[in-house]
Structure 1
Amino acid sequence: MNLSFIASKPKYIFAKITKIWFFYIILSLVILFGFMSLLKYQIFLSKARVNDYQEKQAFYHTQIGKIDAYEERILLESELAKDRAVHNLMIRDAVVNLFNIIPDQITISYIEIGNDSLSMKGSTPSKEVFNFLLQDPLKAIFGKSSVTFFALSSGWYNFVSLSKSKTSIIESPKPKETQR
C-alpha cells in the first residue's frame, strides 16, 4: 500500500553533511596525533643528543684538565732546564776563571771542584813561583788555602793544594718552592 505520492527515500541516522564533518574531524584528530607523536619522537632524540653532548663535555673537561696539568709540568721542566743552563754557565765561567789564574810555569795534573772547595795537584819549578803566582790568588778567592810540596829529583816540586771557602763557590739551582 502506498499512501504517498512520492517514492520513499531511505533515511539515515546521520545526514551526508554530518558524515563529511565526522570524516574531517577524525582526519584532523589523526593528523594531530601524528604530529604529537612526531614531536614526542623529536623530543626523545633531542634528549638523547643532549645526554651525548653532556658526556662529551665531561670527557673534554677531563682532557682539558690533563692538558693543563701537562702544560704546567712542561713549564716547570722548562724553568728547571733554564736554571740548570744558567748553573752550567756559572760552572763553566768559574772553571774558565780558575784556569785563567793558573800561570804557564805551573803544570796542573788533577783538579777537583766542589761547592765550597778546590783541590789541585800538579808540578811547579819552585815553591816561591807557586806561592806568588797561584797561592795568593787562591787565598783571595777562597779565604783559606793550604799547599803541600814534594820535591822531585829534577829540582821541581809536586804540590797538593786544598782551598776551602765558607760560602759556596758555585750556587746550585734551587727548586722554586724553596726560593719563595
Structure 2
Amino acid sequence: MTSIERILDYCSLDEEPPAQVPRNRRPPSNWPSHGRIVFDNVSMSHSSDNQSLLALRHISMTIEAGEKVGIVGRTGTGKSSLIQTLFRMGILVNGQIKIDNIDIASIGLDDVRRRISIIPQDPILFTGALRSNLDQFNEYSDAEIWHALEQVQLKTLVADKMPNGLHSIVSEGGSNLSVG
C-alpha cells in the first residue's frame, strides 16, 4: 500500500518549470564562473496549494565567490530548504536568487541543475556502474572521469579496490562502498 501512496503523491506533484529556455535566455557557457550567490528577500514554500506555509521567510544574504559557509540549525529550521532553493526545487514565493548576477528563475532548470552541485551529508548512489553514478548523462569520456577522480584523490582507490574500474557495480545505496 505504501508504494501506491508514493505513486499517487508523485502524480499529484506540481509540474516543474521548463527544463530549457530559448537560446537568448540561456546563461553564458562558462556560467557560473565565479560563484557569488545572492539571496534577496527569499521566501520559499514546499507547496503550491498553501504558499502561506513558508519553509523560508525573507532570507537575505550574500555568499562571495570562494567563501565557505556553514548553515547550522535544529531539525526543521530550513537548512535543506535553503539548498533546495538553489536547485529551484521549491516554490519561490518572494525574492530573488542570483548566481554570478544571473537570476536563476530566468533560466532553464537544466542550466541551473547541471552547472551547480552540492555534496550532501548522506550521499546518494544508484545501483549500476560506478561510471553512471559519476556521469549520469554520459557527457564525459572515461579519460575525463579518471582525471576528475585523480583531482579528488580517488583514482588510485578506484583502480586498486574496484576490479572493473569505472564499470564496477555499485550495490543499492552504495552498500558495497565506504562513505569515509
Return the TM-score normalized by structure 1. 0.21
Larger Rg: 1
Q: Which has the higher contact order (CA 8 A, sep 6+)?
A: 2
